[in-house]
Structure formats: structure tokens, C-alpha cells
Structure 1
Amino acid sequence: MAQGVSANYKGDALNPRNLSDDIPECKNVSFFLTNLPADVTYSQLLGQIRGMGRVWATVINPPDGHDHFTSAAKLVFFELAAAQRFYAHCRNPARRLIISGYAVKIVRNRVRKAEEDVGGYHSRVLVVTGELSFVNKDTLLRYFRTKLDFDTEEVITLVQDPQTGMGELEIRFACYRNQAESARQALSKEYPPGATLPDGRMSPIWELRYGVDPCSI
């Protein structure tokens, strides 16, 4: 742990945004989850969270093989109401959070985070529309890997039409700020939607927008 941030966090551990906020525990939207399956995936974890609210960030810490033989995770929500809803659900013995037969243990994270209003509907889900030659799963994810470190819950092909040359992908990142937002900024800078590029070509990106976080529905 550095500055109270996991070494597995794919972001800037020295960024003040990633340090503990000076708030009471009841205002904390960040949780620490333990007793997860050793091989748990982001898809398995996030796929079990529905009807709660938008997830700000998820970071899975795999077992070290010495002291810990199950995985742990940090889970952060955008809104306090969503965090309270999730906490109440998981603390209820009749409900709880079960993943592959493991009853997940949930506590409020010691690295506290206050809810954050980023202005408008932002989420960890990015929907990209554009030329199929670029907006396809293999090419777009390869591009993102040259720009940032990221994890995904799922990547969904919404449109793949060779006849019109249109592609549309929904990328469900594990985190908002350092993954979905960073990916959006990288594309906007290099391939501004609908713009003519310096070499005279049209941008292969037609539209960028945030999608609905499935954890909120």
C-alpha cells in the first residue's frame, strides 16, 4: 500500500483525488471486499451488483499465495445513496453478496472517499461510434492499451455492419476517472469526433458518449 492506495490501482497513487477524504465514515462511498474467489474476474464481481448505482472504481487484489488465499477488492460508488443501498443489501443476512459460492465480506474502506458530482451523467461505461475499421473490439482495445492501463467488466459490440462501415462498441471499464474518462480523452484528443484530421482524413470516431452503468439498473 502506498499513500493508502493499493499497488494494483491503475491510476496515480500520488494524485490528491486518490487519497483519503476528510469525511465521517457515514459519508464514505468506498468499500473493501474480502473473501472473494481467488480467480474472481471484474465481470463476475460487477455482474453481481445490480440496482445499486453508478460504480466509480473497482480494483481487485489477487491473493499473494502466502498470507491470503482469496481475493479482495476496493469498490467505490459515485453517490452516497448508492453506497448506502449497497451496504444495506450486503449486510442483510437474507441477501448478502455471493460470488461463486463465496459469501463476500464488506466493510467501509479505511481510505475514505466522498461522493463526487462530476457534472452531468458520466460513468465507467463508454460508447464509441465510428468507422468499423477502427471501432471494432480488437482494434479499439489495442489502441487503448497504448494509452492507459485498464480492466473491463465486458465489451459489447452494438453495431458491426460491413455494408455501411459502421461500428459501435460499449466498453464497461472497471473504473471511471482513470479508465473510461482517460480513454475518452485520448480518443477526443487524437481523433476528435466528426473532425478533419491534420493529414486531411476524416476522424474514424463519429461519436463518444457515456453509457448507462449496469450496476445502476
Structure 2
Amino acid sequence: MNAVTRTFFRPECDPQKDLKMAQGVSANYKGDALNPRNLSDDIPECKNVSFFLTNLPADVTYSQLLGQIRGMGRVWATVINPPDGHDHFTSAAKLVFFELAAAQRFYAHCRNPARRLIISGYAVKIVRNRVRKAEEDVGGYHSRVLVVTGELSFVNKDTLLRYFRTKLDFDTEEVITLVQDPQTGMGELEMRFACYRNQAESARQALSKEYPPGATLPDGRMSPIWELRYGVDPCSI
């Protein structure tokens, strides 16, 4: 699902068009080419954990794409670029893994003619991204999956999604209700975001700052958040 509505991106109107071309960044990339995190790492291609996927269905969703990736490893980021209606009539996507081993496993799987990655009848084409990214150790088990536990009045799908929409732009593969118990007043949700750092981690930070788990808030109320933790990325199992 797309959690937010974005304005339509036209590469030909992008003020960073020439800069992206000079840096080898795809013209369809909607991110900031000046952000150091978006620049290519100085690594050999074989160490690159980032991929560029083309020939995706025009209306492909994050759930459809990520749902086809299982047993590979933790996904760092996924960004889908819809067709522009002029030169491109299928979608494309950037897919980045945490670990090199996961990236190599995914690449080997998709290059095998007997396997490949098929989504809604489309055979997805996969190449290593020109903007290279090295694997990154963030310390401990972090993932794009955030598990939120707390008061049911706040920790429910509608309320939590509405809260996150005021804090960040995000997309989700799926939002799963793990517990919804009116008798005890407990709610628990598993948020499977499309990206780790800009989405799951940003969501965790927003909640931790405004509603520290288990803390007393400045107005004397108890925080509606009891626990925040990273869940297992389904792409790794």
C-alpha cells in the first residue's frame, strides 16, 4: 500500500537532472542527489548491495514486490518508481539489502533462468545499481519491521497510521495486528515498512521522542507506548 500521496515526479523537470547524470544516478530517482547517503560508495561492483529492478507491473505495490522476496535477507530499502506515461510504461524499483551475503543470494536466485523473479506475470529484470552501496552494520538487529506495543486506544492500525502520516513519508508492505484485546486494553502492531532508516527507524524515533515507552508524560499521563522493538524481516525467512 502507498501510505502517502505524492506529487507526480517528472525527471525532465528535475532541477538536479544534470547533477544526477554526472554522478551516474538514474534520472528517475526522486531522492536528493546532494545527500551523502545517496552518493555511490567507493567499492567494487561485487560488494554492492543495491539493485535496480525494471519491467515491474505498472501498478505494482510494495506488498507484491517484497512479498516475492523470501529467504534472502534483511531489506534496507525499497523504492518503487511508477511509469512516467511517456518513455516508460512499466515500473522500476531500487532494492537494497543490509548484508552482502543477502545481496549475493538474491542476485544468484534472480539470474537463474529456472527461478527468476516473476510478479503478476512480469519477468523482472535485475542489475546492480549504478549508485553503489556497501553493506552496513548498524549495531544489533535492526530491520524495516517495527513492532509497537501499548494501549489499544493508540496502538491500533487507524490511529498509528494517522500519527505516522504527520511525522514522515512512508510506504508499507503490510501492517499486521498482532494483539487487539479490548478487555486488557492492549494493542500490538507489526509495521512492515518499505525502508529501514528513513521509515522504520524514523517512526521509532518519533514515537520514542513523543511517547517514551513506559514513561510518565509531561502532563502526568502514562505513555500509551509500552514497548518498541524491531521485528524479523519476512524477506529473511
Query: Normalised by the shorter chain, which TM-score bucket?
Result: over 0.9
Q: Which residue of 2 aligns with 1:165?
A: 185
Deviation by residue 1:115-146 (Cα, 9 ceiling, x = unmatched): 00000000000000000000000000000000
**Offset at residue 16 of structure 1 (A):** 1.2
- Distance in 1, matches of 2:29 and 2:223, equals 32
- Is the Cα–Cα contact under 8 Å of residues 157 and 168 in structure 1 kept in the other structure? yes
Describe the SS at the equivalent of 2:143: coil
Distance of aligned partners of 1:6 and 1:149 in 2 relative to their CA distance in 1, 3 Å threshold: farther
Deviation by residue 1:12-47 (Cα, 9 ceiling, x = unmatched): 553312211111100000000000000000000000
What is the TM-score when the length of structure 1 is the normalising length? 0.96
Deviation by residue 1:96-120 (Cα, 9 ceiling, x = unmatched): 0000000000000001000000000
- Distance in 2, matches of 1:120 and 1:213, equals 14
What is the TM-score when the length of structure 2 is the normalising length? 0.88
- Distance in 2, matches of 1:34 and 1:195, equals 46
Q: Which residue of 2 aligns with 1:183?
A: 203
- Is the Cα–Cα contact under 8 Å of residues 2 and 13 in structure 1 kept in the other structure? no
Match of 1:11 among 31, 34, 38: 31
- Distance in 2, matches of 1:60 and 1:104, equals 13
Question: Which residues of structure 2 form unaligned runs of 5+?
Answer: 1-20
Cα RMSD over matched residues? 1.7
Distance of aligned partners of 1:42 and 1:2 in 2 relative to their CA distance in 1, 3 Å threshold: farther
- Distance in 2, matches of 1:157 and 1:109, equals 35
**Offset at residue 92 of structure 1 (A):** 0.3
Runs of 4+ in 1 over 2 A off after TM superposition: 1-15
- Distance in 1, matches of 2:27 and 2:228, equals 30
Describe the SS at the equivalent of 1:209: strand
**Offset at residue 198 of structure 1 (A):** 0.4
- Is the Cα–Cα contact under 8 Å of residues 25 and 130 in structure 2 kept in the other structure? no
**How many residue pairs align between the two structures?**
217
- Distance in 1, matches of 2:61 and 2:138, equals 28
Deviation by residue 1:62-99 (Cα, 9 ceiling, x = unmatched): 00011000000000000000000000000000000000
- Is the Cα–Cα contact under 8 Å of residues 11 and 178 in structure 1 kept in the other structure? no
